[in-house]
Amino acid sequence: MTEPTPRVTHHAASRAEVPRSEAEVRARTESLGEMFASFSRNLSDLMRQEVQLAKAEAAQSARQGGRGAGMLAGAAVGGFLALLFLSLALMWALGAVMHLGFAAVIVALIWAAVAAALAMSGKKQLENMKGLPQTQDTIGDIPPTLNPNKETP
């Protein structure tokens, strides 16, 4: 009689072919201390990246603030020059029909309104700065397990 050949079942073959996940392999090969060290490095990298993102966003916000401040400075220079030259011309034109002192007051009030409008426009530019939106979004994505004030399920 011939001996029967051992049969390889489909179940045994499929077990050997199932690839293991990286986490399973690490759980079998690394100690708890090595895993914690890896976790600490990854957390440190995450925090470093968040700080870099915050710096980049702060620089961008500062540039936008600089543009708003530049507009305010331009408004001040423009207001000054307009006040200086146009005021004199309008004052003399109005002085032909009224006392020159009253004409000067009217001209000054007109240019004060123009300067106020420009200042309000520059202020609105500064108020539209967005701050650090990406940093705020990504910090919200940090797992709740890292937050000591919240209980995790």
Q: How many domains does the chain have?
A: 1
Residue type, 108: A
Domain extent, residue 112, equals 69-125
* Full-model pTM: 0.37
Q: For residue 41, how many C-alpha atoms fall within 13 Å in the half-sphere facing its CB?
A: 6
Q: What is the dihedral of CA 135, 140, 144, 148, to 10 degrees?
A: 60
Unique residue bearing structure tokens 């915050």: 54
- Asked if 78 contacts 118 with a C-beta cutoff of 8 angstroms, the reply is yes
Average pLDDT of every residue of the chain: 79
Residue 62 forms part of a structural domain: no
- pLDDT tens figures, 134-149: 777 777 666 665 655 6
Residue 73 forms part of a structural domain: yes
- Asked if 147 contacts 107 with a C-beta cutoff of 8 angstroms, the reply is no
- pLDDT tens figures, 95-108: 999 999 999 888 88
